Homo-oligomer: A and B are copies of this chain.
Amino acid sequence: MDAIDHILKQWARERPDLDTGPMGLIGRLTRLRAHLSREMEKTFSRFGLNSASFDLLATLYRSGEPYALQPGMLAQTMLITSGTMTNRIDQLVKTGLVERRRSEEDRRSVAICLTEAGKALISEAVEAHVATQHTLVAGLSEKDRDQLTALLGTYLAMFEADQA
C-alpha cells in the first residue's frame, strides 16, 4: 500500500467516471523519482555538488579525452535550456572544476573542459554515486530489477528514438 493507492481510492469515490489506470503508473513513477532523487542528492552534497553540477561533470568525464564538450550539446543531452546551461557552467568555473575555452575555428563556440581538480572530484563522486544507487535498488529482487529496467527502456524509447 503506497500513497498512490490512497489517491486512486479517493478518485474512485469522488470521480468514479475517471479511468485512473494511467495515473497509477505515472503517479508511482513520479513519486518514486522524488524519493530516489532526494537520496541521491545526499551523496552529491558530500562532494559539494548537487544533481545539476554532478550531471554536468559526469557528462564531461564519461565523454572521455579530452573531457571537453560544447554548452549547446550538453544542454541538449541534459534536457535543459541554454540559459540554464550557462548558469551551471558559471558555477563550476567559479569553483575551478571546469574551464571555458573559446574555439579557434568557430568563434561563436566554446568548449567546456574538466580541470584536473574537476576530474579528480567527479571520479570520486561517481564511485560514491554508483554505490548509493546500488543501495537504492537493493530492495528489489534481481528479476524485478531486470524486468523494470526493460520496461522503462521500452517506454523511454518512445520519447527518445535514435539517440545512439
- A binding-site residues for B, Cβ under 8 Å: 1-7, 10-11, 13-15, 18-26, 28-37, 40, 61-64, 77, 79, 126-127, 130, 133-134, 136-137, 139-140, 144-145, 147-149, 151-164
Contact = CB atoms under 8 A, between A and B. Distances in A.
Given A152-B28, A163-B2, A13 B158 contact: no
B144 A31 contact: no
A77 B37 CA distance: 17
Contact of A155 (B77, B127, B139, B164): B139
A74 to B, nearest CB: 13
A134 B61 CA distance: 38
A151 B147 contact: yes
Nearest to A135: B22
A142 to B, nearest CB: 9
B14 A62 contact: yes
A77 B136 CA distance: 22
